């Protein structure tokens, strides 16, 4: 059953790729470049912003335990690099998408500066009894 599911997924992926390749053959190259750019930008921003879906939990627990710091830090460096590259090329598309990605990464890194990565341990206090003489 697992093999059948995997082969089904491979078949669907193959059909999507075949459809995309067919589309590219008949459409204006500039239009294809723009449409693919928009699609990939949306996917990029969804992936970069995904850790922020847990923002409510982070604020409630006051810790960043669920956030992947190495991935967020690497994403920040990559976004900054692509932003600089886009500026050099004077490509507004690259600049805008990476400005947004850099902003999302910066918000996530700011959470690490504000909250600890581990939740504060709850210290239980024992009730004290006063001795009377």
The least confident of 4-18, 45-59, 61-75, 110-124 is 110-124
| Residue 119 pLDDT | 80
pTM value is: 0.70
Question: Residue 56: how many CB atoms within 10 A of its CB?
Answer: 9
Token pair belonging to 79: 């976004």
d(CA 4, CA 92): 44
CATH number of 29-114, picked from 3.40.50.720, 3.40.50.920, 3.40.50.2000, 1.20.1280.290: 1.20.1280.290
| Residue 3 pLDDT | 86
Domain ranges of the chain: 29-114
Give the tens place of pLDDT for each residue, 80-133: 999 999 999 999 989 999 999 999 999 999 999 999 888 876 544 555 566 666
What is the pLDDT averaged over residues 31-36? 89
What is the pLDDT averaged over residues 16-31? 90
């Amino acid at each position: 059953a697992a093999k059948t599911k995997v082969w089904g997924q491979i078949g669907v992926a193959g059909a999507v790729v075949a459809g995309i390749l067919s589309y590219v053959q008949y459409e204006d190259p500039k239009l294809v470049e723009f449409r693919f750019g928009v699609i990939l930008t949306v996917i990029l921003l969804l992936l970069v912003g995904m850790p922020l879906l847990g923002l409510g939990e982070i604020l409630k627990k006051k810790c960043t335990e669920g956030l992947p710091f190495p991935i967020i830090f690497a994403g920040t460096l990559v976004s900054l690099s692509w932003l600089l590259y886009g500026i050099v090329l004077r490509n507004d598309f690259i600049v805008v998408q990476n400005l947004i990605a850099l902003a999302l990464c910066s918000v996530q890194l700011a959470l690490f500066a504000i909250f600890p990565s581990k939740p504060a341990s709850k210290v239980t206090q024992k009730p004290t009894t006063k001795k009377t003489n």
